[in-house]
Amino acid sequence: MPSPGLPTSKHFLAGPPDPARGRETLVALQRSSCPFSSSSSMKSAEEEHYNYASSNINAGLPLNVAHSSLSTACHGLQTSNPVISIVPSTNHPSGYGGHIDGGASGYYLSPNVRPNGAPALESPRIEITSYPGLHHNNNQFFHDAEVEEAIPNAKRSPSTATLNLPNIEAYRDPSCLSPASSLSSRSCNSEASSYESNYSYPYTSPQTSPWQSPCVSPKTTDTEEGYQRSMVACTLLNSPRHSPSTSPRTSITEENWLSARNSRPSSPCNKRKYSLNGRQTSYSPHHSPTPSPQSSPRVSVTDDTWLGNTNQYTSSAIVAAINALTTDSTIDMNDGIPIKSRKTAIDHTPSMTLKTEPSGEDHGTISPTADLSPEEFSGFQHIRKGNFCDQYLSVPQHPYQWAKPKSLCPTSYMSPSLPALDWQLPSHSGPYELRIEEQPKSHHRAHYETEGSRGAVKASAGGHPVVQLHGYLESEPLTLQLFIGTADDRLLRPHAFYQVHRITGKTVSTTSHETILSNTKVLEIPLLPESKMKAIIDCAGILKLRNSDIELRKGETDIGRKNTRVRLVFRVHIPQSNGRTLSLQVASNPIECSQRSAQELPLVEKQSADSFPVIGGKKIILSGHNFLQDSKVIFVEKAPDGHHVWEMEAKTDKEMCKPNSLVVEIPPFRNQRITSPVQVNFYVCNGKRKRSQYQLFTYLPANVPIIKTEPSDDYEPAQTCGPMTQGLNPLSKPYYSQQIMMPPDPGSCLVAGFTSCQQRNTVMSSSPNSSPKLHDLSSSAYKCITNPGHSHLGLQQPAGGVPTVQEVPRSIVVHPSSPEQSSLIMLQPQVSQHLSSSCSLGYQQTLYPNSPSSPVPSVTQEPTYLQSCSPTHSSIMGQQQHQLPKVQRNESPTNQPLSLPELHEDSNHNLAPIPVMIKREPEELDQLYLDDVNEIIRNDLSSTNVHSELAILD
DNA sequence: TATCTGGAAATATCA
DNA sequence: CTTGATATTTCCAGA
């Protein structure tokens, strides 16, 4: 542990650990203590573990830090501090990146983070503590001289670093908490992955590379450099860890974690109550520590520390704007808002922000990883080089940042690399398309850390999922990244409660390497030209982290309860001739991971028709699972705010009912005179709390010839919206549309980005009542939160969807560094215009389709909406509404206007002939919603601030 | 013997 | 505060 490490540690140490946190704290402490001890004494495995972690962390941290700083700078983290921004970003992607980088470290670190969690302050202590020496990261963040040296610029972040830590924590501390996660960590860390992860970071390197020569040199070169750098950094940091390479991980992991785990059982204590959970529980702890806690990182950092700095760095208005966004969210978050909320908001924001910036961004997220494990490293290097090498568009910016090493530079450094994991990316661009040839089964029982592996995810048709990159004619192999993403209505992001788990053994034919990016385990799988760039995913299992562990994390806003659906998210980074890197992403269909849900909840995988004239009467066949003779199929039309405008139980053919198929007669729509397609939802219900997710269905005007009713029709409106979306999209679209839309459900997503989004959302997450609730809420809440900061860019994107996609390339390319930033910069002008002018229309249209379908759409849209049109509130409101029906009700007025064009038409103009029944959603959700709503509001407030700032900027 | 599973008891959380 | 319903997490045991 290089001296550097120590310094850092010191810093952290300085911060007193927060007693407040409960378990987490303890865990953190344990860990930390271990680390220390280990570091000092070099306890075997554990130590190594830590080391690794630390190393990882270190590596990651530096990057992260840098990112953070950068992000801040870029974003303008301005508002908040770069740190904050970063953090947030990190939260998700960027955050992750950074933190993540620590990735594994993140987990480990996370504890540290947590501490910060609340306020940066605190966290630092903890985390640091744990990893002290190891975590040079810390140092890095902090400045560890060594590190810096090793990693010139990026490292610099140090100054930033300090702040960052907190932020980082914010992410997910998976590390800390999860520690419990430890498990996760375990899985992550413990397994080879841990090592690997650390090393794997190569990504980081890639990232690094980006800026390195971003534009300039060839990918490889850059990449390599980046790697080297990263490596160096890692090394430096890791030196200790290097050893890790050994295998410490395992032992370490287990041991360390085990202990932690043991504690878990008790978890209950730690666990928070869902309703309150995130908020309450977390609060106190977090709060106490740092008032700002939640956002702690983000907020605290941002505002306090960073603001000043940030500004300096950021110079650009864009950055400022971004920052503002970020900041706002963060800020607001801090105080009242529960940590979770904050995080969400923050996270997203950050990421977004970061994205904006070219380089830095959060990459951290990505970069975080920079570390590569030696072994794997070598193996993957070439691959990675190819992949990562590319610099992203952003790079250029970095230079700028570099100039200011500490604050921004660091960030930028980091960020340059790859887009954060929470960024939305398109599934195809130009000649390239990343496609899931074989979808995973809809159910896969995830295993707990306390259990053995439950094997790899299997394909619905038997065998295993298959992913292929089309249109890639180069001879250089690429790396396919896989991580577990969310399946709720909100934007796709790494799932806080699930981690990918690398499966090895005789039955596994696909080699893989684990790395950790910002608290998210990422499986790297080679994509070889000789295999037609096709990969059989037989090496990916799913690890379930205890809810209590994750929810305790400082920044975590999501609720684990009933949040059991995930998606496999695949990414590939394709180096371009111009030195940039094109990042594509595809998400699988949702996978139900809980034993119970898988056994009881009805699940609709396919439907024989997606649309039909309002007259109804046609029978469609639903394919799926857990259908019962007395299963009911309910068609629902939702208002933008989430209220059920119309509900109708469809007739089912009980005789034809089979566990895997259900015959349903399409009920006539309430309004037989619609002039444009109306999107509704339906779900299968086996009982009070046993509902499937919402499925999309489109009613077509009676007289209209039934062409293929595809979602696209519905979306058309969205297209019209285009302007706005586009404007927005430039930034956001790419991500959203890309991610959500394209990849996920190619088939389903006929429509453009939005469509895809909606579909996914609807399909995926929109769960009617049961699970949905949480999802909805959480998602909504999250979205809201997220949106605030990010929304501008990210959210909007969704709308952009298809159209955007083409544009996407830009953004995409840009991402590497930080989509948002770049895009923001470019877009801002447009965005503002579009927003202002088109918002309403485009919005509505877009939304509309969505709104009907479910919260999701709205959410996505909202972001745009918000940004463009109204202050945060409106947007937020809208979002909330969608997601949170009840809450929405209250607020709905504001939102609604925007949202439903079609609805309005139908209801208003046409005046639906059929009585409209407004249905309230299940009570269960209420509390959650309320909580979420509160959070949202808070976020909104924060976002509002941001918006205002933005406006100013504009 | 180790791993993979399916099942289900033990806990927790909600209402 | 108790109770029943749910949901999550830990254990068991067979293959």
A286-305: pLDDT as tens digits: 332 222 222 222 222 222 22
Question: How much is the mean pLDDT over chain A?
Answer: 48
Q: What is the pLDDT of residue A372?
A: 28
- Residue A825: pLDDT band by 50, 70, 90 thresholds? very low
Q: According to the model, what pLDDT value does residue A758 have?
A: 32
What is the CA A795 to C1' C6 distance in angstroms?
34
Residue A917 has pLDDT above 60, yes or no: no
Q: How far is CA A936 from the centre of its chain?
A: 18
User: What is the nearest nucleotide to A183, using C1' and CA?
Assistant: C9
Provide the CA A439 to C1' B6 distance, Å, integer: 23
* C11 closest protein residue (CA to C1'): A451
- Any idea what DSSP says for residue A740? I
> Taking 80 as the threshold, does the pLDDT of residue A671 lie above it?
yes
- B11 closest protein residue (CA to C1'): A268
> For A848-852, what is the mean pLDDT?
26
Query: Is a pLDDT exceeding 80 seen at residue A681?
Result: yes
**Above 50 in pLDDT, residue A61?**
no
Strand B–CB A315 distance below 7 A? no
Report strand pairing: A447-448 vs A540-544.
Answer: parallel
Q: Give the Cα separation of A802 and A798 in Å (integer).
A: 9
pLDDT in tens, A238-248: 322 222 222 22
Compute the average pLDDT of residues A605-619: 92
pLDDT score at A458: 92
**Separation in Å: C5 C1' and A759 CA:** 32
- The two beta strands, A534-536 and A466-470, are antiparallel
Which pLDDT score, from 0 to 100, does residue A706 have? 53
A456 CB-to-strand B distance under 7 Å: yes
State both tokens at A206: 């890639």
**What pLDDT sits at residue A137?**
30
Question: In the predicted model, what is the mean pLDDT of residues A470-494?
Answer: 93
Nucleotide nearest to A448 (CA to C1'): C9
pLDDT over 70 at A569, yes or no = yes
**pLDDT number for residue A544:** 95
Q: Check pLDDT > 70 for residue A588.
A: yes
β partners of residue A479: A526
Residue A930 neighbours by CB under 8 Å, 6+ apart:
A886, A887
Instruction: Determine how β-strand A690-691 pairs with β-strand A678-687.
Output: antiparallel
**Bases of chain B with protein Cβ within 7 A:** 3-8, 11-15
Q: Which two tokens stand for residue A820?
A: 């948002």
What is A479-511 written as a DSSP string? Answer: EEEEEEEE-SSS---B-TTEEEEE--STT--S-
Name the token pair of A91: 């939260």
Q: What is the mean pLDDT of residues A804-819?
A: 29
Which pLDDT does position A620 carry in this prediction?
94
Angstrom distance, A258 CA to C10 C1': 14
User: Mean pLDDT, to the nearest integer, of A751-769?
Assistant: 33
Residue A89 clears pLDDT 50, i.e. is over it: no
pTM (2 decimals)?
Answer: 0.47
Six-digit token string for A380: 């993957």
Please check whether strand B approaches the CB of A653 to within 7 Å: no
Report the alpha-carbon distance of residue A245 to residue A252 in Å, rounded.
Answer: 12
Q: Specify the pLDDT at position A687.
A: 79
Task: Name the nearest CA neighbour of A865 among A887, A836, A824.
Answer: A836
- A142 CB and strand B closer than 7 A: no
Average pLDDT over residues A875-900: 30
CA distance A184 to A171: 15
Dist. CA A509–CA A438, nearest whole Å: 16
With CA of A548 and C1' of each nucleotide, the nearest comes out as C8
Check whether residue A271 has its CB closer than 7 Å to nucleic acid strand B.
Answer: yes
Please count the other Cβ atoms lying within 10 Å of the Cβ belonging to residue A829. 12
Structure confidence at residue A747 as a pLDDT band (50, 70, 90): very low
Task: Say if residue A587's pLDDT is above 60.
Answer: yes
What residue is closest to B14 (Cα–C1')? Answer: A924
What number of H helices and E strands is found in chain A?
38, 22
Amino acid at site A481: Q
* Average pLDDT of the segment spanning A560-577: 93
Q: Which one has a higher pLDDT value, A617 or A259?
A: A617
C-alpha closest to that of A820 among A140, A324, A337: A324
pLDDT above 70 (res A782):
no
Report phi then psi at A617, rounded to 5. 95, -20
pLDDT attached to residue A558: 86
Q: Which residues of A564-584 are buried (b: 16+ CB within 10 A; e: fewer)?
A: bbbbbbbbbbbbbeebbbbbb
Nearest protein residue to B4's C1' (by CA)? Answer: A454
Range of lowest pLDDT (A152-156, A356-360, A390-394): A390-394
What b/e sequence results for A105-120 when a residue is b if at least 16 CB atoms lie within 10 Å of its CB, and e otherwise? bbbbbbbbbbbbbbbb
Q: Please give the Cα distance from A426 to A729 (Å, whole number).
A: 12
Q: Is residue A133 scored above 60 in pLDDT?
A: no
Alpha carbons A29 and A605: distance in angstroms, whole number? 45
Q: How confident is the model at residue A227 (pLDDT cuts 50, 70, 90)?
A: very low
Per-residue pLDDT band at A705 (split at 50, 70, 90):
low
Q: What is the CA radius of gyration of chain A?
A: 24
With a cut of 80, say whether residue A600 has pLDDT above it.
yes
**Kind and range of the H or E run holding A622:** strand A619-625
- Residues A566-577: what's their mean pLDDT? 94
| Helical segments of A691-818, H only | 711-736, 753-758, 770-786, 793-814
Distance A924 CA to B15 C1' (A): 8
Predicted pLDDT of residue A704: 58
pLDDT value at residue A430: 92
Provide, rounded to the nearest whole percent, the portion of chain A with pLDDT above 90: 18
pLDDT reported for residue A424: 94
Q: Straight-line distance from CA A111 to C1' C13, in Å? A: 36
Distance A266 CA to B15 C1' (A): 24
**pLDDT of A921-951, one tens digit each?**
333 333 333 344 344 434 444 443 433 333 3
CB-contacted nucleotides of strand C (7 Å):
5-12
Question: Residue A268: which nucleotide is closest by CA–C1'?
Answer: B12
Q: Nearest to residue A581, comparing CAs of A423, A348, A297, A818?
A: A818
Q: How is residue A63 written in tokens? A: 């990057």
Nucleotide with C1' nearest the A266 CA: B11
Confidence of residue A689 (pLDDT cuts 50, 70, 90): confident
Q: Return the pLDDT at A461.
A: 82
What does DSSP say about strands A695-700 and A611-613: parallel, antiparallel, or unpaired?
parallel
A174 CA from C13 C1′ (Å): 32
Which nucleotide is nearest, taking the CA of residue A596 and each C1'? Answer: C7
Query: Residue A604 has what pLDDT?
Result: 86
> Can you give the distance from the CA of residue A311 to the C1' of nucleotide C10 in angstroms?
51
Listed in sequence order, the residues at least 6 apart from A105 whose beta carbon sits closer than 8 Å to its beta carbon are: A52, A53, A54, A55, A56, A57, A58, A59, A60, A61, A99, A131, A135, A137, A175, A198, A368, A516
Average pLDDT over residues A92-105: 30
Q: Tens digit of pLDDT for each residue in A439-480?
A: 999 899 999 999 989 999 999 888 899 999 999 999 999 999
Calculate the dihedral angle through the C-alpha atoms of A906, A704, A679, A919, rounding to the nearest 10 degrees.
50
